Chains A and B, each alone.
Chain A
């Protein structure tokens, strides 16, 4: 398994699949039982390399683990010290991160008084305090309300623009689908790896859902004559199996118009990542 630089890589699996343990191993917190792993060319089980790895990674743990008695600013400041950052560098970085996450106005408030979402943001800021190249996020939106989850997701996408490599542990398939370039699905071992799009297609091929103002048999037949399989006709829409929608869609639309159909929407349909995930979980 290889994660590219600047990639957002999702690690999906049920509870107990080994997601957190894997991240702990990669963060050099626990020893590996077998196999090898390198981060930036450094081997995770080599003692000398472990220090280098710790300097280049940021870790958002499953439990935020903030110093609840300390202010948001102090929480970040002490972590800046742990990474041997100079005072000015710390000050600037803390301001940048807290402003980015909308917490600058609350910098002097005790972390213990923060909401769950704010604590999670602060923990992400802590993981980023030393500007790491690689970021491990263990369930970053677990137990957050939809608004806080969206803020965190948007922030992860911002980080992606900075060409940071992000390793995201999650069991939220929708989140993985929105954020990740590629995902690995695991259940104590990795079952499959690929982009969410490729995994969806691997399960059911590509499909297009066409909605018309009115559907009749001649319209459906006009599409069948092109050699396509109509999968499902529901109300005024139907789903067509296609190999390359980008090339095949124009001909389909022309055929439908020729049969008197007024097309309202054309959208790519097909299996969701959830379908893929559930199928794989059943099979293993």
Chain B
């Protein structure tokens, strides 16, 4: 694979996204909500609500909220990956690109970079805001800075892996979808297992500690490797031109 070729494909996609505000909004909305709104909710619950929470519950809530970075990572690339593949399929712009000397792997890697980079940057930016605001609001109550810690470290390790897996799943979905909206709606289903995990942790069926999060990251990495081969088999010139609907 040629990184230069892949980067050119990604650059082209980035340039197209700058002309698609809806794609940008869909990418930054959730990290912004998690990064700014959740700290404000906690601040309200701790300091301004009539039934104020006890300080002891703050760390648990912060850990629970931070899971949304992994859920977000699973869902955000859907917007871009669907547009990047199904959109290009609809515009019939894949065929001329496939006639260039770039390999299938170069194009797939370029599409992966373009679908992954923006969401991961948005998630990391959101996480910085999240940690800063959470520390700002809880420092007085807790008496120490809660962030950074290993928990958020494990979260931020699992998030890009969830995003990568989401992109790969979207490549496979895109080969069967004929319009961007259907691809996005189907892709969003990918976040259900993560929401399930979140709910399981809330009702005590699963403990979202550092160890389990690291195991989750490892599992995501392993599944990503497996899914990569499926995506690679799906993303081949002949498949795209003759089988993609």
Contact = CB atoms under 8 A, between A and B. Distances in A.
B17 to A, nearest CB: 9
Contacts of A29: 95, 98-99, 237-238, 241
B241 A82 contact: no
B15 A70 contact: yes
A69 B21 CA distance: 12
A65 B19 contact: no
B92 interface: yes
B102 A82 contact: yes
A79 B4 CA distance: 13
| Secondary structure type dominating chain B contacts | helix
A74 B99 CA distance: 18
Interface in B229-245: 237-238, 241-242
Range for the number of chain B residues in contact with chain A: 20 to 34
A151 to B, nearest CB: 21
A59 interface: yes
Given A65-B92, A74-B15, A27 B20 contact: no
Interface stretch (A49-57, A227-235, A258-266): A49-57
Nearest to B18: A69
Range for the number of chain A residues in contact with chain B: 20 to 34
B93 A67 contact: yes
B92 A30 contact: no
Interface in B1-27: 4-5, 8-9, 11-12, 15-16, 19-20
5 contacts: A61-B99, A67-B93, A79-B100, A82-B100, A84-B4
Interface of A: 24, 27-31, 51, 54-55, 57, 59, 61, 63-70, 74, 78-79, 81-84, 110, 123, 126-127
Interface of B: 4-5, 8-9, 11-12, 15-16, 19-20, 91-103, 237-238, 241-242
